[in-house]
Structure 1
């Protein structure tokens, strides 16, 4: 399987190094408008470097492309790849509005290619175990969930993150991980209420989800934290509760703002205590789905649903009111 990458920033590097560890997968091309980034990744991997996606399409042959570009460019390059007959692995969020997301899904279907979306939390072992505990009934009926995801502001490294029209802000870029996980683990969402405060170098959000089964989740996301990236989840049910806290593995944490002398080329990437990288597990799974024609753990429709909840949260932030979601069929299904 020949793969290529468009976008050689932090996630492009993660994808590239993951592919390098996979048997029977060859990374043949990497491209970025910042050609220096493409050249640096080429030196690490041996893949050819290109200054544009069009040049890479014309000069090398590949089966799959990872779209690891800023979020506002996901639609444009997914459509280009689909029209060229290439399978697409797109980083989350799928898009920054539902119309673009639907167009991406439709184009991939019409061109007979697969579309996978990098909701990588489904591949973190601690989150998989929480999902299994719920499915096996160990917690009984889920009642209340608390989840948080906080870290430094990626806009300090990549300024486009500070432009909500390009990144979607902390809800669309960061909190969407927990939105997708909880929809997968707990069920469909009935209503959404959101608060979001942005000031200077901080972007803080608090969102409450009410699920169709009656469970309630409070989600917190924060960019601007002067310390390492961290996550925590607590799920309480009628028979017990389960907790995961990425900071509990060490007894002492000293948090400070990075000094101006520290060179930071890329935004930080969440890590897992597991032996295998969740990103490598995710990408290997997507490649296997292409080879076997099997259904992925996270589908393009799942990514659309996560974005739908995200858009409801952003609407609630603007209106100050809860937003109620209407049950909708899977994309591609005909309505009666």
Structure 2
């Protein structure tokens, strides 16, 4: 299976390196408007670098395109890939607006290609194991959940993150991980209430989700956190408690950042203490779904629903009122 990666920033490099070592996969091309970044990715992976999608598509015969460009460009790049007849793996969130997401899904369907969205938390083993424990009834009926995700502000490395109309801010870009996971674990969301405080490179949000089954989840997301990236989640049930905390689950703590551009700052990429890299497992899973025609662990409908909930949280922040879905 021949794969190309569009976008050679932090996540794009992660995609490229994963494909380069994946059995049964050939990374044939990397594409990035800043050609120096594309050339660097090519040097590390053995792929051919390109500056534009048009040039790459005219030369390379690829089966799948991985899209790791800034969020505000997702729709444009995904639809260009779909119209070229290529399957698409796109980083989360699917888009900034629900209408854009629906256009992307429709375009892929019309062109007979599949679209996958990288909600990678479902592939973190500790999160998958928590869901298994809850689904098995081990802690009884889960009624209250808390999740926290915090790290440095990525806008210090890439300024577009500082622009809410391009990144969606901490709720859309970071908290959406936990929004998707909570919905996967607890079911459909009935109402959303959100608070958000932004001062310079500090972006903090607290969102409460009420689910149709009566469960409640409180989600925190924090850009500008002074320590290294961390995440935690906890579920309280009628018969017990299950939790994970990235700071407690590692006997050896490792902090990794994507390669710095021109000697500057870099966007930190969350790590799991597991033996297998969750990002690699996720990409391998999506390619298997294409080969075998099977359904993925996270569907485009799941990604669209997570986006709807995130947008509802932003609306609640704006109005100060809870939003009913």
* 1:139-288 alignment runs, 5 A limit: 139-249=139-249, 263-288=263-288
Q: The residue matched to 1:57 in structure 2 has which SS?
A: helix
- The yes-or-no answer on 1:121 pairing with 2:117 is no
Q: The residue matched to 1:247 in structure 2 has which SS?
A: coil
Quote how far apart the aligned CAs of 1:266 are. Answer: 3.0
Conservation of the 8 A alpha-carbon contact between 2:250 and 2:273: no
1:319 & 1:249 partners in 2: Cα distance? 39
Quote how far apart the aligned CAs of 1:252 are. Answer: 10
* 1:307-322 alignment runs, 5 A limit: 307-322=307-322
Q: The residue matched to 2:197 in structure 1 has which SS?
A: strand
1:17 & 1:136 partners in 2: Cα distance? 36
2:308 & 2:46 partners in 1: Cα distance? 39
Conservation of the 8 A alpha-carbon contact between 1:9 and 1:266: no
Quote how far apart the aligned CAs of 1:226 are. Answer: 1.2
Deviations 1:11-32 (A, max 9, x none): 0000011111211100000010
Cα RMSD, aligned residues only = 1.5
2:99 & 2:276 partners in 1: Cα distance? 36
Deviations 1:79-132 (A, max 9, x none): 000000000000000000000000000100111000000000000000000110
Quote how far apart the aligned CAs of 1:263 are. Answer: 4.1
- The yes-or-no answer on 1:294 pairing with 2:294 is yes
Quote how far apart the aligned CAs of 1:139 are. Answer: 1.4
Residues 4/251 of structure 1: CA separation in 2 closer, same or farther (3 Å cut): closer
Conservation of the 8 A alpha-carbon contact between 2:138 and 2:240: yes
1:300 & 1:162 partners in 2: Cα distance? 26
1:249 & 1:304 partners in 2: Cα distance? 31
Residues 210/42 of structure 1: CA separation in 2 closer, same or farther (3 Å cut): same
Deviations 1:223-261 (A, max 9, x none): 0011110001010010101110001146899x9xxxxxx
- TM-score (norm: length of structure 2): 0.96
Conservation of the 8 A alpha-carbon contact between 2:156 and 2:265: no
Deviations 1:263-311 (A, max 9, x none): 4453110000000100000000000000000000000000000001000
Q: The residue matched to 1:287 in structure 2 has which SS?
A: helix
Q: The residue matched to 2:126 in structure 1 has which SS?
A: helix
2:50 & 2:129 partners in 1: Cα distance? 41
Which residue of structure 2 aligns with residue 61 of structure 1? 61
Which residue of structure 2 aligns with residue 74 of structure 1? 74
Deviations 1:198-245 (A, max 9, x none): 001100000000000000000000000111100010100101011100
Please list every run of 5 or more consecutive structure 1 residues that lacks an aligned counterpart in the other structure.
256-261, 326-336
**How many correspondences in the alignment?**
318
Conservation of the 8 A alpha-carbon contact between 1:29 and 1:60: yes
2:213 & 2:249 partners in 1: Cα distance? 33
